[in-house]
Amino acid sequence: MYYGEYLKLSQLLSSQSPRSAEIGSPVHDETLFIIVHQAYELWFKQILHELDSIVGLFNADQLSQADLGLVLSRLDRIIKIQKILIDQIEILETMTPMDFLEFRDLLSPASGFQSVQFKLIENKLGLLPESRVKIGNQDYKHHLKPADQAAIKTAEAEKSLFTLVEKWLERTPFLNIEGFHFWESYREAVNKMLAADVERIKSHPTMSPQGISGSLEQYKRIESSYNSLFDAGAYDKLIASGERRLSQKATRAALFILLYRDEPVLQLPHTFLRQLVDIDHNLVSWRNRHALMVFRMIGRKIGTGASSGHEYLKNTVERHYIFQDLTNLSSFIIARSALPKLPTDLRSQLGFYYTDE
Ligand code: HEM
């Protein structure tokens, strides 16, 4: 094997064709613009490679402890790549808005919005088509070529990581042990915590009466959010209004994992849930960072893909969360010292065991 042949460098390195050079007035910075985008697409490819394998493992009937270990290491790789993707924006920012304007019109109507791999990553993670911010009131696939639309439709029809994780959480054992009234004890602990918080607000030494009533209103919302954990009807209403997506059963399982993360058997599941939140947050950070760069480059001009530009991108930062229900679980956390004690039987099930099998 020869280095350049193995890596197909002649193809890779002859794939940069600045449009400005093609029309006879080369612009120096267009090469950077192309290479940065290509580097992104290569990393997107690697993320999809990892994601497909993770989805494959979750698609099996059972996920063994060893498989979960593999999932964790692949998610960790995705998280590390995402950090590079966020940092990489700085390189493109060495190009000034004026230099960009020298070739920007030559790109129209192409846009990063047409990055199929980016859309596939979002779909495979679990972003729903109906949650997407629309451009010109049209479905997001409308802006793509037919072959790309087909690839995206296939991904939309497959089970996303979100759906598979939801099913996995719903299968969590330990939650229905006879004689263990975890939820009742948990609810008592939550009520105590909320009552103490409300007292603190009411007797706050520096808050104005309006400030106090505003905070108390907010507490009512937190209270009804807690109540939805115990009331299936109330939870269904939150699902119908779009405030929640993860099923009540899966949410309760995730909360249990979060609360009892110190138990040996729950440590990997807890790390896994944290990684999903990390991936979501890194995606949001990238969207934010990209939107800021776009504002710096083109101000309030519309994008080459015909969106409102910075405004559209800002909306995606707010709306394109995937695992927000997992992030939200922090609202339901109580102090370690207030945690209901697990029955001895259950605790021993949550320990590590070594057998000859
Ligand atoms: C000068 C640099 C850049 C500018 C001015 C810019 C501008 C924009 C704008 C205005 C949009 C909204 C769609 C539209 O109307 O075109 C967009 C979307 C997008 N851009 Fe960029 N972009 C730049 C660099 C990049 C880079 C380096 C990437 C890396 C792949 C990228 C990936 C994307 C993606 C994936 C979207 C779709 C985002 C979404 O729909 O959530 N962009 N870009």
Query: What is the tens place of the pLDDT at every residue in 270-283?
Result: 999 999 999 999 99
Evaluate the omega torsion of the peptide bond into residue 109 and state whether it is cis, within 30 degrees of 0. yes
Reading the block at residue 268, the tokens are 């990997």
Share of the chain above pLDDT 90, in %: 76
Q: What is the pLDDT of residue 177?
A: 64
- Measured from the CB, is residue 131 less than 6 Å from ligand 1? no
pLDDT at 354 exceeding the cut of 60:
no
H-helix segments, the chain: 3-6, 9-13, 19-22, 30-59, 65-92, 97-107, 116-125, 146-157, 161-170, 182-202, 209-227, 232-240, 248-259, 264-298, 310-319, 324-328, 344-349
Mean pLDDT, rounded, for 15-24: 97
- Measured from the CB, is residue 305 less than 6 Å from ligand 1? yes
d(CA 96, CA 107): 17
Q: CA angle 103-105-107, nearest 5°?
A: 80
pLDDT at 352 exceeding the cut of 80:
no
Q: What is the pLDDT of residue 126?
A: 98
Higher pLDDT, 282 or 265: 282
Mean pLDDT, rounded, for 306-317: 93
pLDDT in tens, 123-164: 999 999 999 999 988 999 999 999 999 999 999 999 999 999
Q: What is the pTM of this model?
A: 0.94
Residue 43 near residue 59 (C-beta atoms within 8 A): no
Q: In angstroms, what is the span from residue 50 Cα to ligand 1's centroid?
A: 23
Minimum CA distance residue for ligand 1 atom 7: 294
Q: What is the pLDDT of residue 357?
A: 43
Minimum CA distance residue for ligand 1 atom 3: 294
Beta carbons within 10 angstroms of residue 18's beta carbon: 18
d(CA 248, CA 170): 9
Q: What is the pLDDT of residue 218?
A: 87
User: For residue 138, what are the β-bridge partners?
Assistant: 135
Residue 15 near residue 38 (C-beta atoms within 8 A): yes
Taking all residues of the chain, what is their mean pLDDT, rounded to a whole number?
Answer: 92
d(CA 169, CA 270): 11
Q: In angstroms, what is the span from residue 114 Cα to ligand 1's centroid?
A: 9
Mean pLDDT, rounded, for 89-110: 96
Residue 226 near residue 188 (C-beta atoms within 8 A): no
pLDDT at 298 exceeding the cut of 90:
yes
d(CA 55, CA 160): 7
- Measured from the CB, is residue 111 less than 6 Å from ligand 1? yes
pLDDT at 355 exceeding the cut of 50:
no
Three-state secondary structure call for residue 110: coil
pLDDT at 43 exceeding the cut of 60:
yes
- Measured from the CB, is residue 85 less than 6 Å from ligand 1? no
Q: What is the pLDDT of residue 306?
A: 81
- Measured from the CB, is residue 100 less than 6 Å from ligand 1? yes
From 104, 113, 119, mutation site for ligand 1 pocket: most ligand atoms within 8 A of C-beta: 113
Q: In angstroms, what is the span from residue 127 Cα to ligand 1's centroid?
A: 18
- Measured from the CB, is residue 307 less than 6 Å from ligand 1? yes
